[in-house]
């Protein structure tokens, strides 16, 4: 009896163990999908349209201007992703090399910064790389919103190829007001004024003129300002049409003035870029700097107050002339998102876009109907001067002459600022003029 009872107990335990094992398998099997049943696939997110903006705006003032413009665009088009493809290097020294490689390789950015004039028309337009924007200008009623002279700088053979976002003045002499007041000096209006002030400053141990020509265009910018002052806007313009030769006695005289000015610059000029030179003036280590009004954007971002900490006058002997530099953006042929690019160009061309960008950049708006009250004393004065002064195209910034000529001038300039051999420099200019 006891034996039967014991066997019964064993049998029950065996049956319970089988049931437990079977339950585990059933639970596992129920958690697995059926043979023909597949898990739901994750739906891909819709790709955001992107827009690549290629420029060389990375310095103080210019970067802030670009970001302000992007902010305006983002408010209107939050569905479009902006790719800020800025490449550091004043006047586009490095960016232009990258751009050439990309354009030739069939990989253009959505839109890119290019100076109006020869830099645009004799390179990218002549190479058939840009799409005409006449229909765009008509659609947005822009033909009378920009000065006629400005539209000419972005046009070739009757076709418009880019949209100007600003107007810079190149022939500006900036000076530290405190240094001038402490030394009882007036801002120089003529070359004689400049050299008289420079001699006094040099005697006091103050660098008279800050120069940053680590990139050669810095010296070329100073040279073109001297030529404009010595020749006048009319004869200066004849240099680019062949009506005035580079070995003309007046050009040689201008070169002699330039050579003399180089005797008053900082010893480390070849190790500095334009921002470094502006910094010398901002800190009072140098008294003056000749640079376009993007330097004003630098001063503003450095916390200096216009007409309190720094002042300005046209470069010596150039009062009444306005050296024009205009930044523009167009539509490359091979982009795969032309309508998106046009949305950006629409913002770029708008009053809102230009009035967000230019006060920070130091430039004035390209549009004639921008809000004047958004600009300070310098901006208001520059707007008035642009309307009334004789206009001149910049050599250093690619408006007056093609890239081949500008490159050869910059190469010659590197040698000239160290050797100051005027005759050799003039010969190099004459040889380079065959590129025009």
Q: Is the pLDDT of residue 264 over 80?
A: yes
Q: What is the pLDDT of residue 48?
A: 76
Q: Is the pLDDT of residue 90 over 90?
A: no
Does residue 70 contact residue 53 with C-beta atoms inside 8 Å?
A: yes
172-323+397-435 matches 49-166+325-388 in CATH topology: yes
User: What is the rounded average pLDDT of the residues 20-40?
Assistant: 43
The alpha carbon torsion through 289, 295, 300, 302 (nearest 10 deg) reads: -70
Cβ neighbours for 251, distance < 8 A, ≥ 6 positions apart: 227, 231, 239, 244, 245, 426, 429
Contacts 24+ apart (CB under 8 A), 367-374: 367/145, 367/146, 368/144, 368/145, 368/146, 368/147, 369/145
Check residue 250 and give left, alpha or beta (phi > 0: left; psi -120 to 50: alpha). Answer: alpha
Mean pLDDT of the chain: 91
User: What is the rounded average pLDDT of the residues 138-163?
Assistant: 97
Q: Is the pLDDT of residue 35 over 50?
A: no
User: What is the rounded average pLDDT of the residues 299-323?
Assistant: 97
Residue 60 phi, psi (nearest 5)? -60, 135
Report the alpha-carbon angle 294-300-306, nearest 5. 100
Q: What is the pLDDT of residue 2?
A: 37
pLDDT, tens digit, 9 for 90 and up, residues 223-252: 999 999 999 999 999 999 999 999 999 999
Distance in angstroms (rounded) separating the CA atoms of residues 65 and 83: 16
Going 403 to 405 to 406 to 411, the CA torsion angle's sign is positive
Q: Is the pLDDT of residue 321 over 70?
A: yes
Confidence band, pLDDT 50/70/90 cuts, at residue 41: low
pTM of the model: 0.87
CATH superfamily of 172-323+397-435: Periplasmic binding protein-like II (3.40.190.10)
Q: What is the pLDDT of residue 4?
A: 40
Q: Is the pLDDT of residue 333 over 90?
A: yes
User: What is the rounded average pLDDT of the residues 184-189?
Assistant: 98
Q: What is the pLDDT of residue 27?
A: 37
Q: Is the pLDDT of residue 269 over 50?
A: yes
Q: Is the pLDDT of residue 342 over 70?
A: yes
Q: Is the pLDDT of residue 12 over 80?
A: no
For the chain, give the percent of residues with pLDDT over 70: 89
pLDDT, tens digit, 9 for 90 and up, residues 369-409: 999 999 999 999 999 999 999 999 999 999 999 999 999 99
CATH 3.50.50.60 at 49-166+325-388, yes or no = no
Give the domain ranges of the chain. 49-166+325-388, 172-323+397-435
Q: Is the pLDDT of residue 16 over 80?
A: no
């Amino acid at each position: 009896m006891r034996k039967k009872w014991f066997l019964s107990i064993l049998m029950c335990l065996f049956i319970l163990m089988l049931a437990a094992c079977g339950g585990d398998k059933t639970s596992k099997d129920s958690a697995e999908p059926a043979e023909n049943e597949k898990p739901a696939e994750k739906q891909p997110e819709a790709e955001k349209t992107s827009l690549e903006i290629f420029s060389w705006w990375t310095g103080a003032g210019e970067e802030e201007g670009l970001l302000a413009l992007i902010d305006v665009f983002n408010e209107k088009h939050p569905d479009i992703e902006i790719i800020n493809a800025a490449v550091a290097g004043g006047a586009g020294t490095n960016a232009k090399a990258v751009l050439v490689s990309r354009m030739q390789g069939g990989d253009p950015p959505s839109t890119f910064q290019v100076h109006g004039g020869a830099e645009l028309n004799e390179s990218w337009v002549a190479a058939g790389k840009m799409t005409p924007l006449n229909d765009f200008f008509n659609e947005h009623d822009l033909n009378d919103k920009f000065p006629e002279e400005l539209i000419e700088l972005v046009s070739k053979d009757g076709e418009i190829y880019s949209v100007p976002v600003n107007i810079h003045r190149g022939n500006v002499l900036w000076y530290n007001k405190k240094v001038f007041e402490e030394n009882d000096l007036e801002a120089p209006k003529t070359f004689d004024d400049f050299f008289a002030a420079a001699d006094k400053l040099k005697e006091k141990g103050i660098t008279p003129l800050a120069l940053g020509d680590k990139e050669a265009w810095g010296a070329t910018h100073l040279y073109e300002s001297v030529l404009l002052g010595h020749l006048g806007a009319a004869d200066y313009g004849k240099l680019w049409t062949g009506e005035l030769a580079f070995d003309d006695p007046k050009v040689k005289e201008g070169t002699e003035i330039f050579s003399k000015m180089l005797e008053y610059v900082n010893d480390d000029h070849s190790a500095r870029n334009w921002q470094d030179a502006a910094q010398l003036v901002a800190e009072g280590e140098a008294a003056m700097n000749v640079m376009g009004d993007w330097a004003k954007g630098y001063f503003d971002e450095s916390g200096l107050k216009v007409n309190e900490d720094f002042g300005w006058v046209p470069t010596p002997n150039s009062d009444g002339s306005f050296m024009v530099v205009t930044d523009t953006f167009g539509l490359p042929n091979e982009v795969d998102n032309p309508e998106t690019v046009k949305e950006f160009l629409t913002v770029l061309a708008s009053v809102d876009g230009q009035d967000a960008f230019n006060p920070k950049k130091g430039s004035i708006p390209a549009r004639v109907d921008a809000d004047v009250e958004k600009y300070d004393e310098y901006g208001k004065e520059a707007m008035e001067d642009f309307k009334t002064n004789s206009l001149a195209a910049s050599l250093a910034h690619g408006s007056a002459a093609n890239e081949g000529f500008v490159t050869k001038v910059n190469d010659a300039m590197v040698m000239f600022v160290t050797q100051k051999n005027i005759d050799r420099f003039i010969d190099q200019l004459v040889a380079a003029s065959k590129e025009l």
